[in-house]
Amino acid sequence: MIVENNLFDSHMYKEVIRQYDEVSDLINLDSNIRERLKLPQRSLVVTFPFRRDEYDEVETVIGYRVQHVLSMGPTKGGIRYAPDVNLGEVTALAILMSWKSAIVGLPYGGAKGGVAIDPNPLTRAEKQRVTRRYTAELLPIIGVDKDIPAPDLGTDEQTMAWIMDTYSNFVGSPQPGIVTGKPVSLGGSITRRESTGRGAVAVGQAAMEKLGKSYKDSRVVIQGFGNVGRYAALDSYERGAKVVAVNDLGGAVMNNDGLNIPELFKHIAKNPSVSGFSGGEEYDGEILEVDCDVLIPAAVGGVITSSNAEKIKANVIIEGANSPTTLNADKILRENGVVIIPDILANAGGITASYFEWVQNTQNYLWKETELHEKLIDVMLTAFEEVWTISQKQSCDLRTAALIKGIKRVAAAKLTRGLFP
Ligand code: GLU
């Protein structure tokens, strides 16, 4: 059907639609809505010139912003900088953002953006130029009540500050609500940076309790030590779990008695990688295959595949990253009895904290750190309970249950608004 050979076709898009089709069958989704939600409502592809610091080099860079559903409120989702990002990937991620927002009950449709560039070798000045020009190209479709970007892979608080500054200059007044995940000095939320990792561990612990297991004293392995991975590590440590191995692009460290995460934070503040941390040994094997109870993939997508799924020792996986598990791997893991807390639930703490930040910006209101944390955990645990109940009633896995909840809510909003014209 329209999924084959459409503009958005890509491996990731096909996977997202396959999942969606399976769940649509289960819930008997209205056939008109079913086809409609396979395609994003609005997509912008831009190309722009980018000058490297060596002035004789000018490259043409390609960027995207995809808005999936505009029925429930503004659209919302991150912007990623990665060399291989494409329209299909951004679309798939925008669709997942719609389900994610709906699962935690936020008044947003899903969106995602991407710039096909490797941010790692770029200087600060180069990153700033790419960001400002990309923002200028997005002006027709973003806005505080239209579409609100946030960080994702390869972008951070500084990137959001440049987007806010560029947008505010065009509009002629400060517009903190145009992005979330900003520095606190610009109206960013004090807890935004920690929220994805902490939210993931909160639902992970809740899931383990349902399974009759304890998070405290469990052995945890974390792939990635960016914003998501490092706060998942800290939260796990604070809950009394043993974080036995973590890695990042520079290497991996391991300690069978548990790494001292506050000390690792001090190390990472002075060094480019977790590698070289004196509180553990260097590890050069496959991090995902380390013996543990809980595995938290918190880096890039597509890392757990049919080639390594059998080698995973964890009995609980908390998906901190977006789409870390392929559908084939998901099936193998389920057959092996592994419980997966899916990305659209596990990492929804990020967009939930973004929502708090956006509300504070648009209302000129401030909540205290403790209030923000309590609100976050309340939203996450409520969503978890609802998803758990669906999984029990339907005898299905948590990913299917989460999708049932998300898709039903989006479909209900579209059906209630009706057709225009
Ligand atoms: N990029 C994050 C995600 O994939 C956060 C999006 C947001 O805060 O808008 O969930």
CATH code of residue 154:
3.40.50.10860
Q: CA geometry: angle at 103 spanning 384 and 328, to 5°?
A: 85
Determine the pLDDT at residue 365.
86
- Mean pLDDT (whole number) for 38-51: 97
165 plus 19 within the same structural domain: yes
Tell me if 78 CB under 6 Å of ligand 1: yes
Q: Which two tokens stand for residue 5?
A: 């050979």
Is residue 56 one of the residues assigned to a domain?
yes
Identify the domain boundary among 315, 346, 377: 346
SS3 labels along 38-64: CCCCEEEEEEEEEECCCCCCEEEEEEE
Is residue 366 one of the residues assigned to a domain?
no
271 plus 203 within the same structural domain: yes
Q: Which two tokens stand for residue 146?
A: 């239209």
Tell me if 76 CB under 6 Å of ligand 1: yes
User: CA-to-CA distance for 89 and 21, rounded, in angstroms?
Assistant: 18
Is residue 331 one of the residues assigned to a domain?
yes
* Structural domain that includes position 137: 3-174
| Atom of ligand 1 lying closest to residue 100 CA | 10
16 plus 116 within the same structural domain: yes
Tell me if 67 CB under 6 Å of ligand 1: no
147 plus 226 within the same structural domain: no
266 plus 206 within the same structural domain: yes
> Per-residue pLDDT tens for 279-324?
999 999 999 999 999 999 999 999 999 999 999 999 999 999 999 9
Q: What is the DSSP string of 213-281?
A: --STT-EEEEE--SHHHHHHHHHHHHTT-EEEEEEETTEEEE-TT---HHHHHHHHHHSSSSTT-TTSE
| Atom of ligand 1 lying closest to residue 80 CA | 1
Determine the pLDDT at residue 171.
97
- Please give the tally of structural domains in the chain: 2
> For the purposes of burial, counting CB atoms within 10 Å of the CB of 400, is it exposed (0-12), middle (13-18) or buried (19 or more)?
buried
Percent of the chain with pLDDT over 70: 99
> Active-site residue among 76, 112, 242, 414?
112
User: CA-to-CA distance for 258 and 240, rounded, in angstroms?
Assistant: 10
| Atom of ligand 1 lying closest to residue 76 CA | 9
162 plus 219 within the same structural domain: no
| Cβ atoms 349, 380 nearer than 8 A | yes
CA 192 / ligand 1 centre spacing (Å): 10
Identify the domain boundary among 142, 174, 206: 174
Q: Is the confidence at residue 246, as pLDDT, over 60?
A: yes
CA 153 / ligand 1 centre spacing (Å): 10
Identify the domain boundary among 174, 204, 234: 174
162 plus 13 within the same structural domain: yes
| Cβ atoms 77, 106 nearer than 8 A | no
- Mean pLDDT (whole number) for 345-366: 96
Is residue 416 one of the residues assigned to a domain?
no
110 plus 197 within the same structural domain: no
| Atom of ligand 1 lying closest to residue 355 CA | 8
166 plus 202 within the same structural domain: no
Tell me if 354 CB under 6 Å of ligand 1: yes
- Mean pLDDT (whole number) for 227-254: 98
Is residue 215 one of the residues assigned to a domain?
yes
157 plus 280 within the same structural domain: no
- Mean pLDDT (whole number) for 338-363: 98
Active-site residue, 210 included: no
Tell me if 301 CB under 6 Å of ligand 1: no
215 plus 318 within the same structural domain: yes
Q: Which two tokens stand for residue 384?
A: 């978890």
CATH code of the domain containing 237: 3.40.50.720
Atom 8 of ligand 1, nearest CA residue = 351
80 plus 135 within the same structural domain: yes
Tell me if 390 CB under 6 Å of ligand 1: no
> Per-residue pLDDT tens for 254-264?
999 999 999 99
User: CA-to-CA distance for 403 and 175, rounded, in angstroms?
Assistant: 34
Reported confidence tier of residue 3, pLDDT bands at 50, 70, 90: low
Residue to mutate (ligand 1; options 75, 97, 103, 146; most atoms within 8 A of CB) = 97
Tell me if 147 CB under 6 Å of ligand 1: no
| Cβ atoms 314, 291 nearer than 8 A | no
